[in-house]
């Protein structure tokens, strides 16, 4: 009998736990430890942020589902890692602290045979002075509660606009090294469409602010894609959309400080500037959770497990951008020091960014961090689960399931407006996620045909269909496993 502990119940953690439970017999124990009581379908947060969905539409409670599916569940947060046990406990364990109920604050050793760290990112609002959801007129759509608060503020602003007030709206990244530009891109287009629906579009100046060097970088170094019968850069496509929607943009901007209605930022040319706003949604930087790890004797071994996020089978040797390759990226998400610990999804430490790193004249890194959200999270979690299942069933430490982001496709179905007949979506797929310049030297490291973009109503329907399909899948309803990650 083996015990697999999954830390986190986001996309990666939940996918791993559900596949493990489906494929392993009941003699094996699958346990989820997560401080969150609800599963949330994060890609739909932007629709909560414009008031077109309620939080209840995008979440469901985890405890009843896990009870029904025989997955043990502790609503607790990980505090420290003890991969060798300690003087009192021979088995490896994590120290977990309950976050709710009668046991709130109590700590417990949770032992394991295999550990999946799917704790995702810490939303590092503190890294930008003054940036905090709901404060200084700046908001976030990173969680459903943040998105709900953003909608309440936006709704109030729309009322003021109807009364004749002209406003400035600022959407984008709130730190020089933020990622998840895609979510901000969706949100700015959805806001623009909602303002038109409320007939107040002419009362708002909407501006995109981003740490990208070019529009459409999305933390993936941009894309060369097929667009209908043409070949187009993602920067050209996003520029076309923004100009058509009357959205201004500020690029190469590392936001460093937010005051009431003012965002201060530095640009690559070393200038310090500021932009005023009446409503902002700025994505914070992501960081690791600051976990500590200890060996059997109690010595601090955090460096063996973490470099911000968890260390996995990537090549972390520092090298210049020109020498980066897809081989740097992890394939199995296994920690090299402890073969029974894995970190899929956002929890793994990337070897470097995907976009070309750039420093300002003042030495500030202004580069998007690499995205690992959504689909790559699900795929990497499933392959980790499959490898653990093989290790258990065949007592074999060789890992057969591999999935490098340099050999993996991704789809970004970006909502550009909500509505069954008036909605729109920007559908982009890319293969591979990390460009392989050796394999595809003439097409910016990607395979054309599998890297394509299109705009239209069908994109909105597809995003909506994925919303319902993935919530169905997450609820583990009949044949859920037929829906790919």
Partner 1 sequence: MTRRISKYKRFMMMNPIIQFFKFIYLSIKVLIVVAGGHGGTRNA
Q: Which residues contact partner 1 (rule: CB under 8 A)? A: 240-241, 243-246, 326-327, 329, 331, 375, 379, 383, 402-404, 406-411, 413, 421-422, 424, 427, 429, 431, 436, 450, 452, 454-459, 461-462, 465, 484-485
CB of 195 to partner 1, least distance (A): 12
CB of 86 to partner 1, least distance (A): 35
CB of 432 to partner 1, least distance (A): 8
- Cα separation of 42 and 470, whole Å? 11
Strand bridging mode 279-283 / 138-139: parallel
Closest CA to 444 of 177, 235, 268: 235
- Cα separation of 452 and 231, whole Å? 9
Q: Between residues 396 and 422, which has the closer beta carbon with respect to partner 1?
A: 422
Q: Between residues 25 and 230, which has the closer beta carbon with respect to partner 1?
A: 230
User: 3-state DSSP call for residue 33?
Assistant: strand
Closest CA to 174 of 120, 231, 136, 217: 136
Give the C-alpha distances (Å, rounded to integers) separating 402 from 250, 333, 405, 407, 421. 39, 9, 10, 9, 41
Q: Between residues 32 and 384, which has the closer beta carbon with respect to partner 1?
A: 384
Helix 234-245 and helix 181-197: axis angle, to 10°?
20
Give the C-alpha distances (Å, rounded to integers) separating 312 from 104, 124, 332, 370, 404. 32, 22, 8, 16, 12
CB of 332 to partner 1, least distance (A): 8
Give the C-alpha distances (Å, rounded to integers) separating 421 from 59, 348, 424, 425. 25, 40, 9, 12
CB of 304 to partner 1, least distance (A): 22
| Paired residues of 32 in beta bridges | 6, 73
CB of 241 to partner 1, least distance (A): 8
- Cα separation of 363 and 105, whole Å? 42
Element (H, E) at 94: strand 93-98
CB of 461 to partner 1, least distance (A): 5
Q: Between residues 100 and 438, which has the closer beta carbon with respect to partner 1?
A: 438
* Residue partners of 135: CB distance under 8 A and separation at least 6: none
CB of 247 to partner 1, least distance (A): 9
Q: Between residues 54 and 199, which has the closer beta carbon with respect to partner 1?
A: 199
Q: Please state the separation of Cα 248 from the chain's center in Å.
A: 25
CB of 158 to partner 1, least distance (A): 19
Question: Phi and psi dihedrals of 394, rounded to 5?
Answer: -110, 5
Q: Between residues 120 and 330, which has the closer beta carbon with respect to partner 1?
A: 330
Q: Between residues 107 and 422, which has the closer beta carbon with respect to partner 1?
A: 422
Q: Between residues 142 and 238, which has the closer beta carbon with respect to partner 1?
A: 238
Q: Between residues 48 and 455, which has the closer beta carbon with respect to partner 1?
A: 455
* Residue partners of 421: CB distance under 8 A and separation at least 6: 457
Q: Please state the separation of Cα 265 from the chain's center in Å.
A: 23
Q: Please state the separation of Cα 480 from the chain's center in Å.
A: 22
Strand bridging mode 272-276 / 107-111: unpaired
| Paired residues of 451 in beta bridges | 448
Q: Between residues 81 and 452, which has the closer beta carbon with respect to partner 1?
A: 452
Q: Between residues 262 and 349, which has the closer beta carbon with respect to partner 1?
A: 349
Give the tokens for residue 48: 């909560």
CB of 261 to partner 1, least distance (A): 25
CB of 196 to partner 1, least distance (A): 11
Q: Between residues 55 and 456, which has the closer beta carbon with respect to partner 1?
A: 456
- Cα separation of 284 and 281, whole Å? 10
What DSSP state is assigned to residue 483? S
CB of 430 to partner 1, least distance (A): 8
- Identify how many contiguous H helices and E strands the chain contains and give both numbers: 10, 28
- CA angle, 427 as apex, 426 and 429 as ends, to 5°? 140
């Amino acid at each position: 009998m083996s015990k697999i502990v999954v830390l986190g119940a986001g996309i990666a953690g939940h996918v791993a736990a559900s596949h493990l439970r489906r494929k392993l017999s009941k003699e094996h124990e699958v346990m989820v430890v997560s401080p969150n009581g609800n599963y949330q379908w994060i890609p739909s947060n932007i629709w909560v942020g414009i008031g077109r969905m309620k939080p209840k539409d995008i979440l469901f409670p985890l405890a009843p589902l896990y009870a029904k599916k025989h997955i043990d569940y502790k609503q607790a947060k990980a505090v420290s890692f003890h991969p060798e046990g300690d003087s009192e406990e021979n088995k490896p364990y994590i120290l977990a602290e309950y976050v709710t109920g009668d046991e709130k604050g109590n700590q417990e050793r949770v032992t394991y045979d295999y550990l999946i760290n799917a704790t995702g990112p810490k939303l590092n609002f503190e890294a930008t002075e003054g940036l905090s959801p709901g404060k200084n007129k700046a908001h976030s759509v990173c969680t459903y509660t943040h998105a709900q608060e953003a909608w309440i503020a936006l709704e109030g602003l729309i009322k003021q606009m109807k009364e004749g007030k002209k406003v400035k709206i600022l959407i984008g990244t709130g730190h020089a090294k933020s990622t998840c530009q895609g979510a901000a891109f969706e949100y700015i287009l959805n806001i623009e469409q909602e303002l038109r629906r409320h007939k107040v579009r002419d009362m708002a100046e909407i501006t995109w602010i981003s740490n990208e060097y070019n529009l459409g970088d999305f933390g993936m170094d941009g894309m060369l894609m097929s667009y209908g019968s043409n070949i187009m850069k993602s920067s050209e496509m996003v520029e076309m959309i923004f100009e058509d929607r009357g959205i201004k943009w500020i690029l190469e901007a590392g936001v460093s400080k937010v005051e009431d209605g003012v965002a201060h930022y530095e640009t690559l040319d070393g200038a310090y500037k500021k932009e005023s706003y009446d409503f902002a949604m700025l994505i914070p930087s992501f960081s690791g959770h600051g976990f500590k790890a200890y060996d059997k004797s109690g010595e601090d071994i955090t460096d063996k497990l973490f470099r911000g996020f968890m260390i996995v089978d990537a090549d972390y040797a520092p090298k210049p951008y020109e020498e980066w390759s897809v081989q740097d990226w992890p394939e199995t998400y296994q920690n090299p020091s402890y073969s029974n610990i894995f970190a899929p999804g956002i929890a793994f430490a990337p070897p470097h960014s995907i976009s070309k790193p750039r420093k300002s004249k003042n030495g500030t890194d202004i580069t998007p961090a690499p995205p690992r959200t959504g689909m790559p999270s699900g795929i990497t979690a499933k392959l980790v689960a499959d490898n653990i299942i093989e290790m258990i069933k065949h007592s074999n430490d060789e890992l057969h399931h591999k999935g490098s982001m340099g050999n993996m496709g991704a789809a970004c179905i970006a909502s550009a407006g909500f509505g069954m007949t008036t909605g729109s979506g920007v559908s982009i797929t890319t293969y591979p996620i990390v460009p392989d310049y050796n394999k595809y030297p003439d097409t910016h490291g990607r395979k054309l045909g599998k890297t394509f973009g299109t705009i239209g109503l069908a994109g909105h329907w597809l995003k909506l269909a994925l919303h319902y399909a993935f919530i169905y899948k997450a609820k583990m309803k009949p044949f859920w496993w037929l829906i790919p990650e």
